[in-house]
Amino acid sequence: MSKIHISILAVVLVVDAVNTLHLKGKWNPSNRYLFLTKFGFQRTQIDELEATRGYIYGTMMLENVTTSTQNLTDIATLVLVDSEFIVDLYGNATEPIWIHNITGMTYQESLWFIETERCNKMFGKINSLAWHKTCSPTGEMDLIRSVPCPASGFCAEEDDPESVVPNSQFTFVVQDLRQPRYWYLSLVACKRNLTTCKWETTAIPRHMNTSSSLSPYSTLTITYDIWLVNGEPKLQSFNQFEHHFSFETHGIAQMFFLFLSLYIILNITAHVKLANHFSLHVCLYLVHLWLASMGTMLAAVHWGVFSFDGRGLGLLSELGTVVTQWADSVFLAVLMCTCQMGFSPQFLSTSYQSCGISKPLRPLTSKIFSTLPTELLRLGTFSHKLYSYYPIREKNICTRSSVNQEKSTSFWPYVILLVTLLLGVKTLLYIWAMVGVTG
């Protein structure tokens, strides 16, 4: 039990805030807890309240409603808390619960009391702040909804139908005049007893049933369709590229579109300038540009779709991330080949020997000599200008082409092996990270 809670808390703390802001799915109370998402709402501007408030709205209904289940509206609780309460809420969920004076109870009853005590600890701090029509009428914050909502109406806590977004059953309105803030949305298998105003678990039954040890709610499934947005939903068209985005990602779609435009210009310029140059470094550099452009394009498409539907194309975004990692690997190979290995494919390797000694010069000296005119290979003292030299005739140095130029310039197998190694390592690390998060 504690491992499940610890895993949930870990996901809460590291989950990406913008994976999806249009939530669709199903949940069963026997699963106890479901963390839905976190979202960063922007700071509310006094002069633009509707345009800068945060809104969470949608529907929470039972799947396959029957006559006997159509009136069930307190199977679980939809909870919205900010960063001040998230540790308290899930911290109590991870701690072991010890109940005293449980003698005389059956094993099933003791399990029920333990989970019920856990529910009361989780909501202990929220109870004093969250508004509830019966149990906390003086509460100042709107944080909870009893779910599922009636199939043809609003949730029980919605006392003002005018404040509910059209075609929705509930609406949370977030307003913070001081700063942007993260808010966390989750489903908890706890309900409030309206007689005692205490919380009780719905994950397991209180008394053992002869036919099943599962809660009577375990056969019921809640379907949810939830939107989280910055700004009044009816004003979406006025701020398309910020409406569905968490506050820390405002402008990310425009940024990727700008990067894509710059990559297109860079690709065109590079191909025009390097059209007549076929060498190892040129090929690797162009491959890097193509991969980087493709990764940026895939990310731009994802964020463009995300700005309209709040979901985007997740698989396309992941593919774009992998392609971008490949582009970085190819560029790293270019740097290693150019700087660390020290060879240049621009000129064929040429050997220089002293006419009297017949001793090959150092590779760096040979590379410098290959760029100088014949018979003018005397290298003078460098001045403050990096490439200035004195062209003095040197009688003791003569040149000849390398005996085996093909062998001296055949770096392709090595570079292919290097690029393959880098791509493989990057891909394996990315897959490992993805498996670690989902696992």
**The Cα angle at residue 63 between residues 244 and 205, in degrees rounded to 5:** 110
pLDDT of residue 87: 80
Indicate the SS3 state at residue 182: strand
Indicate the SS3 state at residue 412: helix
CA 308 to chain CA centroid, Å, is 18
* Tokens linked to 155: 């949730």
Helix (H) or strand (E) holding 9: helix 2-14
Render each residue's pLDDT in the chain as its tens digit; 439 residues: 444 343 333 333 333 434 457 899 999 988 888 889 999 998 888 888 888 889 999 999 888 766 566 667 788 999 999 888 888 777 776 676 666 666 667 777 888 888 888 888 888 888 888 888 888 888 888 899 999 988 888 888 888 888 899 999 999 999 988 889 999 999 999 999 888 889 999 888 877 654 555 566 767 889 999 999 988 888 776 777 777 788 888 888 889 999 999 999 999 998 888 878 777 778 888 888 999 999 999 999 998 888 888 788 888 888 888 898 888 888 888 877 776 554 444 444 444 444 444 444 444 444 444 554 554 444 444 434 443 434 444 444 444 444 444 444 556 676 777 778 877 877 787 777 766 655 5
Distance CA 352, CA 343 (A): 17
pLDDT of residue 99: 65
Distance CA 54, CA 226 (A): 13
pLDDT of residue 81: 92
Q: Which residues contact 239 (CB under 8 A, 6 or more apart)?
A: 51, 230, 231
pLDDT of residue 439: 53
Greatest Cα-to-Cα distance within the chain, rounded to the nearest angstrom: 110
Cβ-based neighbour number of residue 296 at 10 Å? 24
Predicted TM-score (pTM) of this structure: 0.69
Domain edges within the chain: 2-249, 252-343+413-438, 350-408
Q: Which residues contact 302 (CB under 8 A, 6 or more apart)?
A: 312, 313, 314, 316, 317, 320
pLDDT of residue 436: 60
Indicate the SS3 state at residue 181: strand
Query: Are 182 and 176 in contact, with CB atoms under 8 Å apart?
Result: no
Distance CA 435, CA 431 (A): 6
Long-range CB contacts for residues 3-10, cutoff 8 Å, separation at least 24: 4/32, 4/33, 5/33, 5/90, 5/93, 5/94, 6/94, 8/33, 8/35, 8/90, 8/93, 9/90, 9/91, 9/93, 9/94
Alpha helices in 17-98 (DSSP H): 49-52, 83-94
Query: Are 104 and 114 in contact, with CB atoms under 8 Å apart?
Result: no
**The Cα angle at residue 242 between residues 321 and 16, in degrees rounded to 5:** 40
Indicate the SS3 state at residue 432: helix
Measuring CA to CA, which residue among 242, 174, 321 is closest to residue 18?
242
pLDDT of residue 69: 64
